[in-house]
Structure 1
Amino acid sequence: MLPTDFDAFICNSGSDIYYPSQSSDMSSNSRVTFVLEHNYRSHIEYRWGGEGLRKYLVKWASSVIERRGRIEKQVIFEDSEHSSTCCLAFKVVNPNHLPPLKELQKFMRIQSLRCHALYNHGATKLSVIPIHASRSQALRYLSILWGIELPDAVVIVGETGDSDYEELFGGLHRTVKGGFNTPANRIHTVRRYPLQDVVALDSSNIIGIEGCSTGDLRSALQQLGIPTQ
């Protein structure tokens, strides 16, 4: 499958939307460019802390340590390479010493930080995004902007790799669910109820796949009734 087979890409934990674009004079798909949805960026940037928030979180990250006897090791480090204007990324060295997501969210509320925190990539990454941003919010934005009927939308999401994944399961849209090896309770301690209580996992709108190859994805889309080339 090619990037241009998709209508949009929701990136950076829901803080950016990109559209794939290819020049008409290009014969191959090797020069596909991705165009940022600037209006969505303007929408979520309201009261975003930006550089001031980044400096505060870098200082906070230095206080999250792992103690082994007299030796202390920092657990969370800034990941400037994977950060963007509205997504502050941090690398997690040892997920076993992460603060529970519930406690981290409470800490940010107490500090009056207008942002969302979420663990991703199997709790090896921490992303901090504007309070108005999320992957589910980006999907709603696209449906309103382009008049997309949600039953016609397909979302591809990992099973337990990200702490916001359950927001993308329920609803009218269809979901392709990839497997992940990280135990759910490692990053989902914010949830005190079984996922089955809020999401119908046996729904025909949710298809699970084990691999991540083009063939696996194509097969899942066909099961959902989506034509593929």
Structure 2
Amino acid sequence: MLAQFEHFYLTIKSNRWYWLFSIFCRVSLAFAFLVAGWVKIIGERFASGLSMIHPMGAYLEALHHTGYYYTFIGVTQILAAILLLIPRTVTLGALLYFPIIVNIWLLSYAVRFEGSYVTAPLMVWACLFLIVWNYDRVRFLLPLNHFSDLGILQKPKKYSWRFPYLFAGFVFLVMVGTVAYAEFGHEVMPHNSIKDCKKQFTNAPKQEAGYQFCECIHTAGIDLDSCLETYEEVKNEFKP
């Protein structure tokens, strides 16, 4: 199986479309962390427009007051971004980037933060692609009993322009699936403001329970799990 994968790997490494996609992933991921990291280094709170009683806002406010740890996160993000932009250090950059973006993804899902509910998982996929793209270097970190003589691949003399329809279809499905889950994956979302939160319940059968949920999050500042429990209780009370 490993031999088959490495044969496939050699094929994609000589394909111009895969190469262009790797460049896109590197630049887009680097840009995102350069912006996010710089905000932390200059001492500003990330997503400063988000209320401090919002689930994500409360987390970011607490993180903002961790002093040099907050700055350290920013420096690490910028370091990962710079490493991604330098061809010789892409592998190291992707390996540094991956645990950071996985943490952001899980945090976004845990508090249902719509600001990164779509982008974070897509960034995880993009970073994972870069790690696989650099398999010839990453493989030495894997717990394999033996390694093939694949070596460190050099830039091919000539690229193939054969369009990878299956890969493009997979990328499209990942994007659609991520957006669909963000839109329909949960019955209720806190959203970023009480106005947007209440919009999802306007003229809905569970409007009263929904409005109480929004007030619980954005006015009372109660944690998400407790507000969800209250929502379920009130919703059941209004069942016909």
More strand by share: 1
Larger Rg: 2
More helix by share: 2
